[in-house]
Amino acid sequence: MKVLKVDHIGIAVKNLDETLKFYQEMLGLELHGTEVVEEQKVKVAFLPVGDTEVELLESTDPEGPIAKFIEKKGEGIQHIAFRVPNIEEAIAELMAKGVKMIDEKPRYGAGGAKIAFCHPKSTNGVLVELSERE
């Protein structure tokens, strides 16, 4: 499997607007845009840093995965995403190597990406996302 780069680092936050103040005012990062991904019950803000991004994630539903993550672990890094050239091939290769996948087929992610998550039980506790973008 070929990993092209770190696509983004996902950070779970309780309040997107408050958190953006730190990244914009203190670090000087520019907001590239926001998006609501209904399927994942999340509002996302994108802050480019070089050729990667910081992705801030605020839950839109108290039962959503980000809300549950924050409830269990608090705010902080929720996942790391690696860009791959062909997500279907990457999923198949990882599964053939015995990696447990949360998503055995790609789904829609923020920014128009096709995404799939590896189960943390197969990645030493880290939620790893595969991301394919055009």
* Segment-wise mean pLDDT, segments of 10 residues, the chain, 134 residues: 96 98 97 93 97 97 97 97 98 98 95 95 97 92
The domain that holds 45 is classified in CATH as: 3.10.180.10
Classify residue 61 by its DSSP letter: S
Half-sphere exposure of 41 (CA within 13 A, CB side): 11
pLDDT the model gives residue 134: 80
The answer to whether the beta carbons of residues 79 and 16 sit under 8 Å apart is no
Residues spanned by the domain of 49: 5-132
Model pTM?
A: 0.93
What sign for the dihedral angle of Cα 41, 80, 8, 56? positive
Q: How many domains, the chain?
A: 1
